[in-house]
Amino acid sequence: MSEDTSGETRPAAPVLLTGASGALGRVLARELAAKGWQLRLTDIAPFPDEVPAGATFEAADLLDRAAIARLAKGCGAILHFGGTSVERPFDEVFGPNVQGLYNIYEAARAAGARVVFASSNHTIGFHTRSTTIDPDSPYRPDSYYGASKVWGEMMGRLYWHKHGVESVLVRIGSCFPEPVDARMLATWLSYGDLVRLCERAVLAPQVGCCVIWGASHNSRMTWWEGDARDLIGWQPEDSADGYAGTVGDKTSGDPVIEAHQGGAYVKMGWTRA
C-alpha cells in the first residue's frame, strides 16, 4: 500500500489506530497526526487528549466485529495497539487479544489493509539472556499475555499466506519514556524510534509478513538479530546506553528473572519447583 516511491511521508489512505488511548497509542496519535496523517483513532476507553487535527476518535470494543470492520473500511493500514498490554488472568487476555485479533484481521482482509501488529518480546520471553535468537527461533511465551501475542503473530502469518494481507509484526521490547532497570538497557525502545518504525511499517512498499525487533540501538541488545528492518527501511536512532550509569545496577535479585529475556513475566504465576 506504500506511497513512498516518490519520497512521500504520508499514506494516501486513512490509517486506523487501535489502542489510541493507551500510552503508546497517544504518542502515535500525536506524532503521526503532526506529520499530516489521516488517523482514525479507536479504543474502548475515552481518548484522554484533545483529538489531533486530521484525526477522528470513536470508542469501540475490539470484540465488536461490526464496529471494527466499519472503522477499518477505506483504510490502507491498521496500527493495532489495542488489547490487554500486560499479564492478566487468562479470561481478561482472551477476549481482546484472541477474539479481538480475529476481528482485526477480518477487517483488514475486507478493507485490503496492511496490519502493523504491536507484538511483544513476551512471545519469546523464556529464551535465556545468554542466547541470541532470530525471528525463526521457537516461540517461548512467558505469560498468557505473551501467548496471546504469539496467536496474533500466527494470525498475521495465516492471513498473509491465505489472503495476501500484509503484516509487520513488531516484537516490542520495553517502550517507555526512558529505561528504568538494567534489563531495559537491552530491551528499551524510545518513543521516537517507535514512531519512526510505525511510519516505515506503513509506508514501506512491500512487507509480506515480517518480524521487527522493537528495540533502540542499545549496545546491550545482543539477544535479537536478523529481522526485516532493511526491508521496511528502519534503523533505530536512539540508545539506552547513556542510562547505564543510572539503571545498570537495578536488577530484581531473582536468578530466574535475571536469566530470561522476558524478565519479571517469567515468574508471574510460576508454580514450578
Query: Which spans of this chain sit near ligand 15L (rule: CB under 6 A)?
Result: 85-86, 120-122, 172, 174, 187, 263
Q: Which residues contact 222 (CB under 8 A, 6 or more apart)?
A: 132, 186
Instruction: Name the helix (H) or strand (E) containing 186.
Output: helix 184-187
In angstroms, what is the minimal distance from the CB of 4 to ligand 15L?
A: 28
In the complex with ligand 15L, the residue whose CB is nearer, 34 or 256, is 256
In angstroms, what is the minimal distance from the CB of 247 to ligand 15L?
A: 13
Cα–Cα distance, 71 to 119 (Å, whole number)? 21
In DSSP terms, which residues pair with 188 in a beta bridge?
174
Give the SS3 label for residue 66.
helix
Cα–Cα distance, 60 to 62 (Å, whole number)? 6
Measured from each CB, the residue nearest to ligand 15L is 174
In angstroms, what is the minimal distance from the CB of 149 to ligand 15L?
A: 7
In angstroms, what is the minimal distance from the CB of 121 to ligand 15L?
A: 5
Among this protein's residues, is 145 annotated catalytic?
yes
Q: Strand 55-59 to strand 15-18: parallel, antiparallel, or no bridges (unpaired)?
A: unpaired
In the complex with ligand 15L, the residue whose CB is nearer, 34 or 86, is 86
Q: Strand 15-18 to strand 77-80: parallel, antiparallel, or no bridges (unpaired)?
A: parallel
In the complex with ligand 15L, the residue whose CB is nearer, 42 or 187, is 187
Cα–Cα distance, 175 to 213 (Å, whole number)? 12
In the complex with ligand 15L, the residue whose CB is nearer, 14 or 262, is 262
The candidate with the shortest Cα–Cα distance to 75, out of 56, 93, 88, is 56
Phi, psi (degrees; rounded to nearest 5) at 101: -65, -35
Quote the DSSP letter at residue 224: B
In the complex with ligand 15L, the residue whose CB is nearer, 127 or 204, is 127
Residue of 102, 139, 144, 145 marked active site:
145
In angstroms, what is the minimal distance from the CB of 263 to ligand 15L?
A: 6
In angstroms, what is the minimal distance from the CB of 125 to ligand 15L?
A: 8
In the complex with ligand 15L, the residue whose CB is nearer, 122 or 200, is 122
> Do 266 and 260 form a contact (C-beta atoms < 8 A)?
yes
Quote the DSSP letter at residue 143: S
> Do 21 and 45 form a contact (C-beta atoms < 8 A)?
yes
- End-to-end, the C-alpha distance of the chain in Å comes to 50
The residues carrying an active-site annotation are 145
